[in-house]
Structure 1
Amino acid sequence: MSTPAATALFAELPEVHPNSFAQWRALTGRIVYTMATKGELIVAVLFPLVITVAFYLPLRYVMQVQGIDYAQYVMPIIVLQTMAMTMMSNAQLAAFEALTGLSTRLQTMPIGALVPLMSRICAGMVRSTVSLAATIGYGFMIGFRFTGGLPQALAFCGFALAVGVVLTLGADALGSLTKNPEALSQALTLPILIFGMLSTGFVPEAAFPSWARAFARNQPISQFAQTLSDMAAGQLSWAGSWVSLVWIGGAAVLFLPLAVWASVRRS
């Protein structure tokens, strides 16, 4: 008895049409579900509280003596620190998927080449949105206010999330390339501390030694913090924001191709 031809054997099965959107939805849902069940979203809510208390309480009286409303002043850098948390979480996720072979396995399946990357970035956006909402809530508790109206408040949130996405792209690329979650976390902590502490988001430029002021004033975190501060105060202008846009645009041009290449390459 002859074996039926493969075409006849599977003739009654429906033709498969891979759907990248459905694949993205499934993979993103998997990551978000894991974040919800493993307590990562709870951490995303509690971490901004720790950062707010740690940054606001030690310096509020010193700044008050200098006539600075420190809740209003420090809030942008707190927001940027919470975006950095998302960056580190996505880096660890990408490294874990590469380490365990999941990324390689997905490459052998009929899945869109960019679907795994986009699912990680979108899941990171969920985490960033939760953290940002919590951070703004804690900011209101210590006296932070949006005094520039709803449009600039929305611009504040949009710009913060844009910074988070760009940083996440770079971190995702590093995670996919290194395949080492623990070492990657340690490696990212140092630049976050350096750029955060040596920025004008914590203290005014005049508080730095003269030799460090140029760096503190012009480095990207200081520029991002100033732009966010202007948005919160309703003082957003092209003259005050173009440097931040150049920084974020340049980082996007660098990190996006790197993240795509790191995600689709076959090891």
Structure 2
Amino acid sequence: MTPQLTVRALQQWWALSGRGVSKVLRGGEAVFALVSPVLVSLCFYLPLRSIMDMAPGMNYGQFLMPIVFLQSINFAASSAAMRAAFDGAQGINTRFRVLPMSPLVPMLARTATNGVLLLMSLVCATLASLAIGWRPGGGFWGTLGLFAFAGLIGVLFAWVADGIGLVAGSPEATSQALSLPTLILGMMSTGLVPLSEFPEWIQPFVRNQPISQFADSMRALDAGTATWHLLTPSLWWCTGLAVTALVLLAVSTRRTRG
């Protein structure tokens, strides 16, 4: 790519990213990024705290931190999917294809927009978790690892959600495709209650599904007890998310060109 084309691509990316961030701020998504982790914290912490704090050595605010982070990440991903679906329904992505623009520019611009909202969501999740009693316990490297891991999950979730929004093509279908799986996996995970509180027959599913693996890894990083063996299942789930995102984006690109 010549320097002139590189400069033009950067200008296009900057303009589209600015458009996306502006929509996030004007559309109220920034407000929901503030409210979402607070609601999650209150809805789960207040009714369950009195029960969970009775367990020996249990600080439920500390235990609940990963699900507050993950629900905030899920909110940012859902917003990414809805924005992609609206753009697809309005034909904006198709119009980009006929412009002298690299197909990577719109995708990278959406990624930048999603990254801004994700950062806002994680900051709000951190404040909400601190308010219910979470305190970082893994030192500098453990806390850095926690936020790096949360950021990785957030980016992968956003890419998958972006692909779902592009493939689904309508906000209604996108909402249906995202809401039920995230609700089921979130409620049936070790993010809310320990594994031992679930019936034995469903414990294998609860233990091995991605939300539980992510929550357990985040707790280990936060406590400074993470090992490669413990993190490996989560990293495999991250790999699966990355492959899923690539497949969805490839399918959406082919549809647009068709």
TM-score bucket of the superposed structures, by smaller chain = over 0.9
**C-alpha separation between the residues in 2 aligned to 1:153 and 1:260?**
35
Match of 2:53 among 55, 59, 64: 64
> After superposition, what is the alpha-carbon deviation per residue over 1:171-215, rounded to whole angstroms, capped at 9, x for unaligned?
111111121102311331100011101111111111111110000
What TM-score results when the alignment is normalised by the length of structure 1? Answer: 0.90
RMSD: 1.6
Report deviation, 1:256: 2.2
Work out whether residues 55 and 78 of structure 1, in 8 Å CA contact, stay in contact via their aligned partners in 2.
no
Distance 1:84 1:71 in 2: 20
Mapped to 2, the partners of 1:18 and 1:231 lie a distance apart of 40
Higher helix share: 2
Partner of 1:30: 19
Q: What is the 5 A alignment of 1:1-267?
A: 19-67=8-56, 68-263=58-253, 265-267=256-258
TM-score, normalised to structure 2, is 0.93
More displaced stretch, 175-184 vs 254-263:
254-263
Aligned pair in 2 of structure 1 residues 196, 17: CA closer, same or farther (>3 Å)? Answer: closer
Contact 1:20/1:112 (<8 A) preserved: yes
* Separation (CA, whole Å) in 1 of partners of 2:27 and 2:81: 17
Amino acid at match of 2:257: R
| Alpha-carbon contact 2:53-2:59 (below 8 Å) kept | yes
Say which SS state the counterpart of residue 226 (structure 2) adopts. coil
Could you give the per-residue CA deviations for residues 133-168 of structure 1, whole angstroms, max 9, x where no partner exists?
A: 011111111110111112221211111111111112
Partner of 1:3: none
From the CA coordinates, give the structure whose radius of gyration is larger.
Answer: 1
Structure 2 unaligned spans of 5+? none
Q: Percent identity?
A: 38
Residues 34-75 of structure 1: per-residue CA shift (max 9 Å, x gap): 211232211111111111111111111101111211111111
Following the alignment from structure 1 to structure 2, what is the Cα–Cα distance between the partners of residues 174 and 34? Answer: 20
- Extract structure 1 runs of 4+ deviating beyond 6 A: 15-18
Residue 17 of structure 1 deviates from its aligned partner by 7.3
Q: 1:261 to 1:136 in 2, by over 3 A?
A: same
Preserved CA contact (<8 Å) 2:189 2:211: yes
